[in-house]
Structure 1
Amino acid sequence: MAADDDEYRSSRNIAISLFKRYKNAVDRGGGDNLKQEFISAGVNAYALGCTDEGLRKELNDMKESGVEIEAMQSYGGITSLKSKIISEEVDECILWLSIIFITILCTPQPTIVRWSSTPPVSDEVRLQWKGFCAVIANAYFVRGMAWLPVKTLQLEQMAVVGLAEEPSVVASRMRLVFSTLEVVSPQWPRV
């Protein structure tokens, strides 16, 4: 992935880059290419030693100061749109990132070298999502699966946090984990 070197010079730039990719993926229908861009940026953030809470703080600081993020919108032509950062978007963007980080931790051998000994996610988030990501990683590595029944994952959520997300949300999170595994530890040749 060709990227501006500036994109990775500071945690603030990494946070902005991730947030823009998140917004593009969500605003433009979450297509695979857009999600892949977010995942690749997330993998880079992991390798560079970023933490979910550090990037959340960067985005929240920008939100508090009223900074507008430029997101690309494509309707026929490409137009640029500036928008303020909203708390819910920060939370969901960081959750996606946390799921990517935990998925990397669930790979059998360290596939991505991390340039920091600081844990990438808080204990609370790790406890909440490790089982979810591990069930999917196990299916991927042990059984060669690229999909699981949503009910299985909802049961995992019920067991850990006492409630399950909507099936469509769970399916979207599952795709995020499988897509991350395909990026960090490809099992099958690309068609």
Structure 2
Amino acid sequence: MQHRFHVNASSDDDFRSSRNIAISLFKRYKNVIDRGSGDNLKEFISAGVNAYALGCTDEGLRKELMDIENSGLEIEGLGSCGGTSLKFKVHSSEIRECILWLGIVFITILCTPQPTVIRWSPTPPVSADVLHQWKGFCALIANAYYVKGMAWLPVKTLQLEQMAVTGTSEKPSVVASRMQLVFSTLEVVSPQWPRV
């Protein structure tokens, strides 16, 4: 059975312009960082999948966020439980990590066996450098997911992949969170098991 992911453009204009898409992704990234993964991570991934389908690129969205950072504008966060939302500035270290997450989501989509998400642009979603750095990592996880029905891999395996490609590897906790991002993306775009 083939699953297709449909773009859910929300009513609050999140997907009208690349700037709005970048802001929406960044808000959801901040939500994961501030409040933990789970549903917050799924929301980030869904926004990333929409950005992919709409033809966005990691570099285009990075530029939008850098422009916001350079202008000193504050972004209003996603409302919290108390109903008030905080405003925050965008910092380049957060932009780097947010766009890296987005690149991993985009590459994970590229690693699905059939096109699970239709992209409305011929432009590659990620730069050649990012693709080179992360394709093997995402492909290992996608292979485990589709072929072996696994939802976890040994962190050491993924660190070895990073070492082979870049000559360095990230800390085990960071590698584990990147692996969670890939598996969660696969669950969003290509669910394999019925929900219990």
TM-score by length of 1: 0.96
d(CA) in 1 for partners of 2:79 and 2:13?
22
Question: In the alignment, what sits opposite 1:54?
Answer: 60
d(CA) in 2 for partners of 1:5 and 1:73?
13
Query: Deviation of residue 78 (structure 1)?
Result: 3.1
> Partner letter of residue 121 of structure 2?
S
Paired residues of 1:24 and 1:73 also in contact (CA < 8 A): no
Secondary structure in structure 2 of the residue aligned to 1:83 = strand
Alignment of 1:62-141 (within 5 A): 62-72=68-78, 74=80, 77-141=82-146
| 1:97-133 deviation digits (Å, cap 9, x = unpaired) | 0000000000010100000000000000000000000
> Partner letter of residue 65 of structure 2?
L
Paired residues of 2:137 and 2:161 also in contact (CA < 8 A): yes
Instruction: Identify which of 155, 160, 163 aligns with 1:158.
Output: 163
Query: Deviation of residue 5 (structure 1)?
Result: 5.2
Paired residues of 1:60 and 1:90 also in contact (CA < 8 A): yes
d(CA) in 2 for partners of 1:190 and 1:161?
37
Compared CA separation, residues 42 and 127, structure 1 to 2 (3 A):
same
| 1:4-37 deviation digits (Å, cap 9, x = unpaired) | 25111100000000000000111112x2100000
TM-score by length of 2: 0.94
d(CA) in 2 for partners of 1:63 and 1:11?
15
Matched pairs, number = 189
Q: Is structure 2 residue 19 aligned with structure 1 residue 23?
A: no
Paired residues of 1:36 and 1:179 also in contact (CA < 8 A): yes
Query: Deviation of residue 3 (structure 1)?
Result: 2.0
Question: In the alignment, what sits opposite 1:177?
Answer: 182
The higher-RCO structure (CA 8 Å, 6+ apart) is 2
Runs of 4+ in 1 over 3 A off after TM superposition: none
Identity, in percent, stands at 76
d(CA) in 2 for partners of 1:59 and 1:24?
16
Query: Deviation of residue 73 (structure 1)?
Result: 5.9
Task: Identify the range of structure 1 (63-72 vs 48-57) with the bigger mean alpha-carbon deviation.
Answer: 63-72
Secondary structure in structure 2 of the residue aligned to 1:79 = coil
> Partner letter of residue 13 of structure 2?
D
d(CA) in 2 for partners of 1:86 and 1:97?
16
Q: Is structure 2 residue 40 aligned with structure 1 residue 34?
A: yes
d(CA) in 2 for partners of 1:105 and 1:182?
14
Q: 5+ residue gaps in structure 2?
A: 1-7
> Partner letter of residue 158 of structure 2?
L
| Two-structure CA RMSD over aligned residues (Å) | 1.2
Question: In the alignment, what sits opposite 2:4?
Answer: none
Greater per-residue strand proportion: 1
Question: In the alignment, what sits opposite 1:12?
Answer: 19
